[in-house]
């Protein structure tokens, strides 16, 4: 918003995070965000506070961007932060303020918030729902050049305000869709469910390819030339993770059950199962490669983040696989260019290596699970000199099988038994 020219206050309940941001530093890894942050702070358009009163007194429009993680021990979303932020903000809002929800929420939430604000906020306070579709690693680009803007509104005034907010993006031709609340809420979970389904589809094909002796990478390339199918999100491998796709499909199923549409989404259970099976299959493949026992074997896991260009390890297939093999008795070493601090916070007892060649030293098996460019650029001949035995599993199908084989490695990939 500051980059679009507005004066912005960012509010968070965590004083440490606010202090870091106020210094112009980003408390997580997101390419390009530090420059945008620093330049807007320097230009005086952006500041941070823990005071919700200050923000309420200052702003006409309030974007709530809090998380909706999976509730512990359940499939549905934990809505504590969404309702908590509304309860904290509501009493301080100026009359006529617009509260714009960005969070991924169970359908029906915007309506509940509108009813609550009508009771406890100043007259004329309104709600709009404006889901975000940004990807980690491309957050700046996706925010400043989105595919589309979706706004769920109940008044012309709310629509006009949001058209004003997004005027620079509308000027560059960004599609702007005006809907009711439930449609806007559903667009977000439908989009993520479709992406998850596409990935699990190709991973299901990988399972069939493994049984049939076929090659899923070639299959994906071939079907992707059909423009109705397309090549994107058709990379078979260890599957999807992160703080969005896995919890969103689960929360969507849970919500569908609550509103009487459970049957419509039973296929998402299968999508989730296919996805999780890729992780256990990789562990099985590792075990088979090592001759049936992990005991005392050195296994180097390349990657901890759920995808490259991110330091996020939430529901990361890479870390899940590393932990399973570590628990099974191997000597696991994990490398990642950015995510080791986060990984160590979640699993403090695993061995982490900052330097990739140190991580590879003495390995009996290498498992490539997050497709950082750095791993594609490894020289298999150099790696061959430091490992104990030459075995590699490519969990993302992005390495060059011929180059690794030439260096004496057995190369195995998911869905490509003969690659």
Return residues touching ligand UGA (CB under 6 A): 104, 132-136, 192, 195, 199, 233-235, 237, 239-242, 244-245, 306-307
What lies within 8 Å, CB to CB, of 207 at 6+ separation is 274, 277, 281, 415
Q: Is 170 helix (H, G, I), strand (E, B) or coil?
A: helix
How do 391-394 and 365-368 pair as beta strands? parallel
**CA gap 303, 395 in Å, rounded:** 10
Distance of closest approach, residue 43 Cβ to ligand UGA, in angstroms: 27
Judged by CB, which is closer to ligand UGA: 306, or 411? 306
Question: Which residues have a catalytic role annotated?
Answer: 244
Residue 202 beta carbon to ligand UGA: minimum distance, rounded to whole angstroms? 7
Classify 22 in phi/psi space as left (phi over 0), alpha (psi -120 to 50) or beta.
Answer: alpha
Q: Which CB atom, from 278 or from 333, has the smaller least distance to ligand UGA?
A: 278
Least separation in angstroms between CB 311 and ligand UGA: 12
d(CA 382, CA 346) in angstroms, rounded, equals 32
Q: Which is nearer to ligand UGA, 274 or 387 (CB)?
A: 274
Question: Whose CA is closest to 396, among 291, 239, 283?
Answer: 239
Give least dist CB 215 to ligand UGA, A: 16
Quote the least distance from Cβ 261 to ligand UGA, whole Å.
21
What is the spatial distance between Cα 129 and Cα 109, in angstroms, rounded to a whole number? 9
Both tokens of 307, joined, read 């995808």
Minimum separation from the CB atom of position 44 to ligand UGA (A):
29
For 342, the token pair is: 């986060």
Cα–Cα dist 90/100, whole Å: 13
Q: Specify the residue, 298 or 303, whose C-beta has the smaller distance to ligand UGA.
A: 303
Alpha-carbon gap, residue 308 to 34, rounded angstroms:
18
CB of 260 to ligand UGA, least distance (A): 25
Report the residue number, 338 or 390, with the smaller CB distance to ligand UGA. 338
Task: Please name which of 394, 396, 412, 417 lies closest in space to residue 199, comparing C-alpha atoms.
Answer: 396
Nearest residue (CB) to ligand UGA, 237 versus 415: 237
Rounded Cα–Cα distance for residues 39 and 45 (Å):
9
Q: Using CB atoms within 10 Å of the CB of residue 174, give its burial: 0 to 12 exposed, 13 to 18 middle, 19+ buried.
A: middle
CB nearer to ligand UGA: pick between 41 and 144: 144
| Nearest 10 degrees: Cα torsion 228, 229, 233, 235 | -160
- Contact call for residues 267 and 197 (beta carbons, < 8 A): yes
Nearest to 318 by CA among 282, 274, 356: 282
**Three-state DSSP class for 63?**
strand
Query: 10, 48 in Cβ contact below 8 A?
Result: yes
């Amino acid at each position: 918003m500051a980059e679009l020219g507005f004066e912005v206050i960012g509010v968070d309940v965590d004083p440490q995070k606010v202090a870091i941001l106020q210094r112009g530093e980003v408390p997580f890894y997101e390419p390009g965000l530090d420059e945008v942050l620093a330049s807007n702070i320097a230009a005086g358009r952006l500041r941070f506070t823990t005071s919700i009163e200050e923000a309420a007194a200052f702003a006409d429009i309030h974007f709530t961007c809090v998380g909706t993680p999976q509730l512990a021990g359940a499939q549905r979303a934990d809505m504590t932060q969404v309702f908590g932020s509304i309860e904290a903000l509501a009493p301080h809002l100026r009359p006529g303020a617009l509260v714009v929800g960005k969070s991924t929420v169970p359908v029906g939430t915007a309506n509940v918030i509108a009813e609550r604000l009508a009771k406890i906020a100043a007259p004329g306070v309104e709600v709009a729902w404006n889901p975000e579709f940004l990807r980690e690693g491309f957050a700046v680009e996706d925010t400043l050049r989105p595919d589309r803007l979706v706004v769920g509104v109940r008044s012309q005034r709310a629509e006009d305000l949001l058209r004003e907010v997004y005027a620079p993006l509308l000027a560059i031709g960004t599609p702007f869709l005006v809907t009711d609340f439930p449609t806007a809420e559903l667009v977000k979970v439908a989009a993520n469910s479709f992406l998850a389904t596409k990935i699990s589809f190709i991973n299901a094909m990988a399972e069939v390819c493994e049984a049939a002796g076929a090659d899923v990478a070639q299959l994906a390339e071939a079907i992707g030339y059909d423009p109705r199918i397309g090549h994107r999100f058709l990379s078979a491998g260890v599957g999807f993770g992160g703080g969005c796709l896995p919890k969103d499909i689960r929360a969507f199923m849970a919500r569908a059950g609550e509103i009487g549409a459970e049957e419509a989404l039973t296929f998402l259970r299968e999508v989730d199962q296919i996805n999780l099976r890729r992780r256990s299959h990789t562990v099985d493949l590792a075990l088979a490669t090592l001759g049936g026992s992990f005991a005392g074997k050195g296994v180097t896991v390349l990657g901890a983040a759920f995808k490259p260009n991110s330091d996020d390890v939430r529901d990361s297939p890479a870390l899940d696989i590393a932990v399973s093999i570590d628990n099974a008795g191997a000597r696991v070493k994990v490398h990642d260019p950015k995510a080791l601090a986060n990984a160590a916070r979640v699993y403090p007892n695993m061995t982490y290596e900052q330097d990739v060649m140190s991580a590879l030293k003495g390995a009996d098996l290498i498992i490539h699970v997050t497709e950082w460019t750095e791993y594609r650029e490894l020289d298999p001949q150099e790696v061959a000199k430091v490992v104990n035995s030459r075995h590699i599993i490519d969990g993302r199908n992005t390495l060059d099988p011929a180059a690794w084989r030439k260096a004496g490695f057995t190369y195995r990939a998911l869905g490509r038994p003969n690659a």
